[in-house]
Every structure is written in C-alpha cells, then in structure tokens.
Structure 1
Amino acid sequence: MAKFVLFLGVLFAMTAVVAGAMEHAVRGMIIRDTTDTQVAEKVSEELSDPAPNAAAAKRLVQYETGVRYHMYHGLAMIGLGAIMAISARGQLLGLLSALVMVVGVKLFSGTLYLISAFGMAELTMLVPIGGSLLILGWLMFLGVVLLFDPLVDKEDLD
C-alpha cells in the first residue's frame, strides 16, 4: 500500500509541474477569452506581465491556486507513503487518506483549472466539496501519524 501511495504522490507532483508549465498557454487562452479581440492581439502574454483586466487577473489567480494545491497534496501523499512504509500500523487508513486526497485534488484543483482556462464558472460549487475532501484527507493523515508504530524497535538501532 505504501508503494502505491508513494506512486500517487509522485504522479500528482509531476502533473502539478506539467500544469504549472502549461500556465503560459492557459494565460493566452484566458486573455483571449476575457479581452476584446483587437486589444488581445496587442496584449503581451508573458507570464511576468500584469493581466490586462480584472476578469483575466481573477482567472489567472484561480489557475495558480489550483497548481499550488495540486503540488501541496502530491508532496503530502509522498510524505504519507513514506510514513506508511516505515510504520507497522495505519496502512488502510493511509491508503484511504491518499484516495480521499486524490478525489479532493481532482475536484478542487481540477475544477479551478476548468473554471480558469475555459471560463466554466458553473462548476464553482465543486471547489468547496474538493476542499472539504482535502481537509478530510489531512484528518485521516493525522490518524496515520497517531497510529504510527515503527517497524524497527529503538533497541535494534543501538
């Protein structure tokens, strides 16, 4: 189970990097979608340039928030898998925690990606559901930490 959770964590961290790398293309989509066609052609799509309007700025922040939480939870699953690998207890709870985080990231970050890149604001109600699942995943992670029982006795290390 620990190896699977580690796999999920690395996969999520990797896909967060891919999502971050795609920000330039998404920025162009957002600018074209939120700006007059003639103005959009003149606006720079460089990542360091400010957004041309408030709607574009809001959608860019949403995308960046999705990427950030995507990465945070990929790293969290790597940590969870590492704890599971060295603990004699909490394996099932750890696996459930990781799976809840997977669904939470899909609903939270995935929905933010869709809202920001494609303007699908009707999906906004899914974001707090994803956030609630992420909180539940962290509570379950806490349970794994509380159940932690090292596979190696301290006396064996001396």
Structure 2
Amino acid sequence: MNKFFQIEGVLFALASVILGASFAHRHSTTDPKDYEALQTGLRYLMVHSVAIFFGASEPALQGWIGLAGLSLISLGIFLFSGSLFIVTRIRGTALRYVTPVGGSILILGWIFILWAVMIS
C-alpha cells in the first residue's frame, strides 16, 4: 500500500467535487464548448482519482513500474484537467497545447500500469 498515492487520489477527488460545485454555482458559462470542456476535465479528474486511490493498494503496482504508472497518471491528470479548467477561464492562452500532452501522459501511465500487472 502506498499512502502517498492514496492521499493524492482522495485530494484529486475532493478537488473534482469542489471544482464541479464551484463551476456549477459561481462560474456560469454561456459557451457550450467551455461547459463541455469543464465536464470532460471533471470527469477525467474523478475517474483517475479513483484509479490512483485504489491502484495505491494494488500489490501489482508496488514495484517501480507500477509506481511510475501511478506517477504518470497523476502528472497527466494534472496537466490534462488543469489545462482544460484554465483554458475555459482565460481566453487565448497557450495552455490549450498542454491538454494533449496531458492526455498522452495519461495513456503512457496506463501502459505502465498494464505492464506492471502483466509481469506481476
């Protein structure tokens, strides 16, 4: 069990709920594309929060490959969801180019998780 990743998973999930409530109640947006981007960011943040939390207690993920996978997923979700949240609030920001990088890091993280499970 890796307590660091369990705590991180809980904090990401908490952030997802707080941001979702904040966006719903305080940041009304009229642009449907912005709303869709926010929903995508929140959905990915919550799903990956749960994956990080439960992955932290999976014995197959306690070696360096599994921990690297969890680390990549953490970084990927921070970049992917974080950039979506910022881009919908600040128009014309160059952070929109960070979103696909975050998505690619997420994919790489899941490949590492698969690798760790296959060799365990």
**Cα RMSD between the aligned structures?**
1.8
Q: What one-letter code is carried by the residue in structure 1 that aligns with 2:77?
A: V
Unaligned 5+ residue runs, structure 2? none
Show the counterpart of 2:36.
61
Is contact 2:69-2:110 (8 Å) kept?
yes
How far apart, in 2, do the equivalents of 1:106 and 1:142 lie? 21
Q: What one-letter code is carried by the residue in structure 2 that aligns with 1:65?
A: T
C-alpha displacement of 1:143: 1.8
| 1:130-158 deviation digits (Å, cap 9, x = unpaired) | 0000001111111222233xxxxxxxxxx
How far apart, in 2, do the equivalents of 1:123 and 1:104 lie? 14
| 1:100-144 deviation digits (Å, cap 9, x = unpaired) | 111111110000001112224432111110000000111111122
> Does 1:82 pair with 2:57?
yes
How far apart, in 2, do the equivalents of 1:83 and 1:147 lie? 14
Q: What one-letter code is carried by the residue in structure 1 that aligns with 2:12?
A: F
Is contact 1:6-1:78 (8 Å) kept?
yes
Show the counterpart of 1:100.
72
Between the aligned residues of both structures, percent identity stands at 33
Unaligned 5+ residue runs, structure 1? 32-55, 149-158
Is contact 1:73-1:101 (8 Å) kept?
yes
Show the counterpart of 1:136.
108
What is the TM-score with the length of structure 2 in the denominator? 0.87
SS in 2 for 1:124: helix
Q: Work out the number of aligned pairs and report it.
A: 119
Q: What one-letter code is carried by the residue in structure 1 that aligns with 2:75?
A: V
